[in-house]
Amino acid sequence: MLTTLNTAYTDTRAADLAWVLGREPLPALATLDIELPDAKLQLRLLGASHQVLLEEERGSCSETVACIAGSSTPLPLGVAKRVGDWEYEFAARVETLSHGSFAGRAQELLALVADHPNGLAGVFPGSPHAFTAMLAQRHEGQVHWRTWHAYPQDGQLVATRTRVGVRIPAAAQCV
């Protein structure tokens, strides 16, 4: 799903993004509810950021990547944590692209997400290349999502990927 976000695009920067696990739902500009086998997922666009809410029988998980007032924790390159019965893995990278490469990559990503049943993208007024996009799926019993945050004024694209799955007890891994 592709939507135009009803908010002004402000000069945020990739360096201002922070990562938080377990945060309560924040006000969203656009949402997409997804029913996956044995899981409910809500993708949420929060201005120049995102939040994902995951609910399964074993519990819930919330991931937020946003410009959070008062946060001094930068966006990590990687995180691996146990969350209840789950293994949670997060990775992020920042790409700096030339103006032409940025425009092409932006169009490619928006086309990928726009027509996908588990995709949500929001474009900011004033720039077709200022967007946040999200794509989710369930694969081999794990929930995966990817996000892209575009900052055309700096030619930067922040890409994240997350995997959440049930922990496999050590004894079961050796069988």
Q: Which residue has the higher pLDDT, 6 or 138?
A: 138
Whether 54 maps to a domain, the answer reads yes
Whether 174 maps to a domain, the answer reads no
Whether 170 maps to a domain, the answer reads no
Strands (E) in 46-155, as ranges, are: 50-56, 59-66, 78-83, 86-96, 119-123, 131-139, 142-151
Query: What was the pLDDT predicted at 173?
Result: 43
**pTM across the whole model:** 0.89
Q: How many domains does the chain have?
A: 1
In this structure, are residues 21 and 160 in contact, taking their beta carbons and an 8 Å threshold? no
Query: What was the pLDDT predicted at 74?
Result: 75
Whether 17 maps to a domain, the answer reads yes
Query: What was the pLDDT predicted at 8?
Result: 67
Query: What span, in angstroms and rounded, lies between the C-alpha atoms of 47 and 66?
Result: 9
Whether 157 maps to a domain, the answer reads yes
What's the domain range around 143?
2-165
pLDDT reading at 171 higher than 90: no
pLDDT per residue as tens digits for the range 82-127: 887 889 999 999 999 999 899 999 999 999 999 899 999 999 887 8
Whether 173 maps to a domain, the answer reads no
Whether 76 maps to a domain, the answer reads yes
Query: What was the pLDDT predicted at 9?
Result: 61
Exposure string of 26-54, with b = 16+ CB inside 10 Å and e = fewer, is: bebbbebebeeeebebbbbbbbbbbbbbb
Whether 172 maps to a domain, the answer reads no
167's tokens: 């922990």
In this structure, are residues 160 and 108 in contact, taking their beta carbons and an 8 Å threshold? no
Query: What span, in angstroms and rounded, lies between the C-alpha atoms of 135 and 121?
Result: 9
